[in-house]
Amino acid sequence: MFHPNFKEMERAYGFDDVAIVPGSVTINPDHTDIHLSIENPVVFIASKELNFPIPILASAMDAVVNPATAIQFGKLGGLAVLNLEGIQTRYDNPDEILDEIAQTPENEITSLLQKIYSAPIKENLIGERISTIKQGGVMCAASLTPANTKQLSPIAKEAGMDILVVQSTVTTARHISSSYRGLTFPELSQKMALPIIVGNCCTYGAALELARVGVAAILVGIGPGAACTTREVIGVGVPQITATLGCAAARDTYFKETGDYIPIITDGGIRTGGDLCKAFAAGADAVMIGSPLAQAIEAPGRGYHWGMSHPHQALPRGTRIKVSNRAPLEQILFGPTSVTNGTQNLVGALRTSMGVCGAKTIKEMHNATMIIAPSIKTEGKYFQASQNTP
């Protein structure tokens, strides 16, 4: 007997559920243009458009980005985001703290991180860390949570920050609170007069509202990161392919409304070049990655990676994972590589995928056909699976 459902649910897809269909025309990977442009849609000055040769951002996580890696990543063509509420701005000598985190047993790590991140943020260190990055000759992006943005963003701007990233587990254009006046993005954009990237979100409606309040780019992804346990702890999130498709549709709706193009940045869940390429085919203009870069020899995490919400005092939503130091940062991005699992030469993978899809630009890659293909990683791979090939 038919009866109505209390709720209708749609199927959602992650990276392992889909595949990219090759195009009918192929092009040489060397002919692809993969650059990323970010501008301030509220206070736009043509000469202030920021361009990056590769569309990859390094996550604002203490195991991934410190001033030294931010400089190196910038010189390689990407944009690294420094966590202004992390170890770098709480401790004069962060290396001692990073050593302690790497040496702590698993059963003690969460309580240790809660203690470490309870130390006060030192405003003088914000200026020092940003100045160090700027002296390295690269663009500086820095991340704050909405609760601390009003207080700390002017200090970061004064020190030379080029891009502000306002980031939390879930960020929306409208926030209801009885305890404090919520952050207003139009007001913030006018005050800062520099590009503001905002995240994270995972739906068409939330992304469209963020675009309409004047942000420069939108981070997409709730809970997919390798060190994040948000989905296990509070049960929220949307698999990244579906989330990217929805937010990319919001970007296109906003572009039709205004003529302003707001880049979509898929943030989290990307482990291999294949995942990265699928994100672009699903509509991303750039990606933000953490764990693949935490594996770099130069990464500050000493072979470990942990989530930004791990040290929460009341409800931790992360875990420390061992990723090991596997290769130099440049090799992870550009190769050459001798591993065959797709974890190195990420830029080469993107260019090659675009080439077989006949896409000269990232926007043309958005037109690539995608199919639901849960067998894409297992079909014909019996011997790989049985021999446990990495």
Asked if residue 200 has a cis previous peptide bond (ω within 30° of 0), the answer is: yes
Per-residue tokens: 245: 């498709």
Asked if residue 336 has a cis previous peptide bond (ω within 30° of 0), the answer is: yes
One of 201, 202, 228, 277 is an active-site residue; which one? Answer: 228
The whole-angstrom distance between residue 154's C-alpha and the CA centroid of its chain comes to 23
Q: Kind and range of the H or E element at 201?
A: strand 196-201
Pairing verdict, β 36-38 and 50-52: antiparallel
DSSP symbol at 247: H
The whole-angstrom distance between residue 231's C-alpha and the CA centroid of its chain comes to 17
Per-residue tokens: 297: 């020899």
DSSP symbol at 117: T
Give me the helices (H) in 213-297, please.
230-234, 240-258, 273-281, 291-294
Q: Is the dihedral of CA 343, 164, 41, 160 positive or negative?
A: negative
Per-residue tokens: 49: 């458009």
One of 277, 320, 351, 357 is an active-site residue; which one? Answer: 320
Per-residue tokens: 342: 């797709």
Could you tell me which residues come within 8 angstroms of residue 181 by beta carbon, excluding any fewer than 6 positions away? none
**Known catalytic residue: 228?**
yes
One-letter identity of residue 233: V
Q: What is the set of active-site residues?
A: 228, 320
